[in-house]
């Protein structure tokens, strides 16, 4: 079943509670909610979108600028509350966030997560392999928003500090 009235919109300060609820219900813990709360008002560029199904908060996604050899963002967290899963809310959020990144001139997005889920969008771990980060491994993936931008590139990635306080079991 799909949500027949799904809307995606950028979040504002009035959405803090809704983001907290969506993130903590989706992950079954508060860590990702706290990560989003720490990152959204902080200096690096963030893109934060809330999905609403029939007006009810259903999902949230956050992209945050990282230091990398190209203009890049980290995708994390991505959350869809159990009630609205398998309705392509997550897919719609990911596509919307990637489009926002593209339209603002970003070149690549990195994510730590489920390979099967993210590969459908074009993320691949081989694209992320040459980059150094604490959570490097098979579940660490990248997508080129600007085609070819990661070819021949390598080096260290630097994420905003709150990422390092999160364990890597869920994804970031």
Residues lying near ligand COA in the complex (CB under 6 A):
26-27, 78-80, 85-91, 113-114, 116-117, 170-171
Which pair of tokens denotes residue 76? 């994390």
The residue among 16 and 91 lying less far from ligand COA, judged by its C-beta, is: 91
Which pair of tokens denotes residue 159? 């994420």
How far apart (Å, rounded) are the C-alpha atoms in residues 106 and 111? 15
The residue among 125 and 153 lying less far from ligand COA, judged by its C-beta, is: 125
Q: Do the Cβ atoms of 109 and 72 come closer than 8 Å?
A: yes
| Terminal-to-terminal C-alpha distance of the chain | 28
The least CB distance from residue 88 to ligand COA, in Å, is 4
Q: Which residues pair with 57 in a beta bridge?
A: 52
The least CB distance from residue 115 to ligand COA, in Å, is 8
The least CB distance from residue 87 to ligand COA, in Å, is 5
- SS3 call for 101: helix
The least CB distance from residue 152 to ligand COA, in Å, is 28
The residue among 18 and 153 lying less far from ligand COA, judged by its C-beta, is: 18
Q: Specify the pairing of strand 155-156 against strand 131-132.
A: parallel
CA 20 to chain centroid, in Å, comes to: 15
The residue among 6 and 150 lying less far from ligand COA, judged by its C-beta, is: 6
């Amino acid at each position: 079943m799909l949500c027949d009235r799904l809307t995606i919109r950028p979040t504002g300060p009035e959405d803090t509670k809704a983001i907290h609820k969506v993130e903590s219900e989706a992950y079954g813990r508060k860590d990702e909610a706290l990560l989003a709360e720490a990152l959204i008002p902080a200096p690096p560029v963030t893109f934060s979108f809330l999905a609403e199904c029939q007006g009810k908060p259903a999902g949230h996604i956050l992209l945050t600028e990282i230091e990398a050899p190209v203009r890049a963002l980290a995708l994390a967290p991505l959350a869809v509350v159990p009630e609205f899963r398998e309705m392509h809310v997550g897919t719609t959020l990911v596509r919307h966030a990637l489009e926002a990144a593209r339209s603002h001139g970003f070149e690549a997005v990195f994510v730590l997560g489920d390979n099967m889920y993210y590969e459908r969008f074009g993320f691949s771990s081989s694209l992320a392999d040459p980059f150094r980060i604490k959570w490097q491994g098979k579940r660490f993936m990248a997508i080129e928003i600007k085609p070819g931008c990661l070819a021949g590139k390598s080096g260290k990635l630097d994420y905003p500090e709150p990422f390092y306080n999160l364990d890597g079991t869920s994804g970031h």
